[in-house]
Amino acid sequence: MPFFKPKTRKRGLEAAKSDGRVPFHDYTLVFIIFALLLFGLIMLYSITSYQGQVLNDDSMFYFRNQFRYMVVGLLIMIVAAIFPYSITKRLAVPVYLASIISVLLTLTPLGYSANGATRWLDFKYFNVQPAEIVKAGVIFLTASMIDSLGHRIATWRGFLLPLVPSSFAALLIWRITRNMSSAIIVMAIVMGMLFVACPYYKRFIALGALVGGAGIYWIASTVRRAAETGVTADFRGERILAWLNPQAYADDKAYQTLQALYAIGSGGLFGKGLGQSLQKLGHVPELQNDMIFSIICEELGLFGAISLMLLYLFLILRFVMIANNTRDLYGALLVIGVLTHIAVQVILNIAVVTNTIPNTGVTLPFISYGGTSILLLLAEVGVVISVSRGIGIKKSD
């Protein structure tokens, strides 16, 4: 059985009012989000002030841009929280199609390239990363499809049907924008939503074994080919080798990872102090994006790193609470989709920085620099708040 049990088909505030309940306001969730945003802004300024001064003659460059997007994102979150989340079901297909079109637009002159990959759309005054839009579109569409399927989700046909649009989107992201990490996150989101909706967990064990076996075979074949011929087929193969033996690739593929590990190791228990990082002085590439966690460890130490991870844990627990108490299947699935999105990115980002998995570009939610990411994440949180308002609490006598 799914871990949540929807009590009624009525959705949101309508269901709450019909039972004589008042809307539930999850102030704890809002507090956690603001704590993450504030922490992210403080760390972003501390980490990027030197880089901003050197590259843009403005120590506030990254902070100012992130703050602007954050303000807009908070406004979007408020609007999404006020409106009934059932609206997203009617918008699921248009949003999904728009996200697919946005990926295809990277093949046009609007496509913007950086670090050898075209993953953004350049609209002169701002850039958009289509992969982030796809994540939101897939959440809405998958929740809508599973809700419409109902008990048919237990059949193999019903189980596989939601995987079709998400697999297509993930394939486009991988092949067109060369962004395998985002493609993996898209598929993880869908599998997380299916996991809580489908009672037959043996399917997930079988799929996990299949994917895990394929991954092990790929790693083993890459290592064997490199040992036999001295070359790898592509840059992802080189990343595998750099992950297994970073010292051998210290000047190339493993440079970023090693510098991040140096930063983490030098932080100790309580860190060097806010603004006192040495690795941020040009040693760690992409420190404001993928590798921001390493500088957090250097400046705030193990204590700061654990504190941040606890904030994420509290956020995930609030999502689980909302999903468990949501009064309809569609609302619960929306929350699970957002939960999986955030949880997978946190896990992948920290795993990459600590060299637990091969290096791949994944940002740290609410902390890393990035306009599209912060806008879409706050929009998703707004939808979760809208779902929570539909839970309702009994009026006191």
The Cα–Cα gap between 103 and 249 comes to 33
Q: Cα Rg for the chain, rounded, in angstroms?
A: 22
Q: According to the model, what pLDDT value does residue 390 have?
A: 83
The Cα–Cα gap between 153 and 375 comes to 32
DSSP conformational letter for 118: E
* Cα–Cα nearest to 284, from 274, 293, 276, 275: 293
- Two tokens, residue 367: 């902390």
380: left (phi over 0), alpha (psi -120 to 50) or beta: alpha
Encode pLDDT of 305-344 as tens digits: 999 999 999 999 999 999 999 888 999 999 999 999 999 9
235: left (phi over 0), alpha (psi -120 to 50) or beta: alpha
If one counts every other C-beta atom within 10 angstroms of the C-beta of residue 163, the result is: 17
Q: According to the model, what pLDDT value does residue 279 have?
A: 84
CA atoms within 13 A on the CB side of 134: 32
* Cα–Cα nearest to 271, from 43, 38, 61: 43
pTM above 0.85, yes or no: yes
Q: According to the model, what pLDDT value does residue 2 have?
A: 47
Domain limits of the chain? 12-394
The Cα–Cα gap between 177 and 372 comes to 16
Given a contact cutoff of 8 angstroms between Cβ atoms, the answer to whether 140 and 151 are in contact is no
Strand locations in the chain (E): 21-22, 111-114, 117-122, 127-128, 393-394
Q: According to the model, what pLDDT value does residue 14 have?
A: 53
> What parts of the chain have a pLDDT lower than 70?
1-23, 115-116, 228, 230-235, 283, 392-397
The Cα–Cα gap between 354 and 343 comes to 17
Q: According to the model, what pLDDT value does residue 23 have?
A: 67
Q: According to the model, what pLDDT value does residue 17 have?
A: 53
Q: According to the model, what pLDDT value does residue 42 have?
A: 95
Q: According to the model, what pLDDT value does residue 9 have?
A: 43
Instruction: Scan for tokens 């009934």, then name that residue.
Output: 84
Encode pLDDT of 108-152 as tens digits: 888 888 766 788 898 877 888 999 999 999 999 999 999 999 889
Given a contact cutoff of 8 angstroms between Cβ atoms, the answer to whether 11 and 327 are in contact is yes
- Two tokens, residue 169: 């989107």
The Cα–Cα gap between 15 and 390 comes to 7
Q: According to the model, what pLDDT value does residue 4 have?
A: 46
Instruction: Scan for tokens 């990490």, then name that residue.
Output: 181
The Cα–Cα gap between 305 and 350 comes to 10
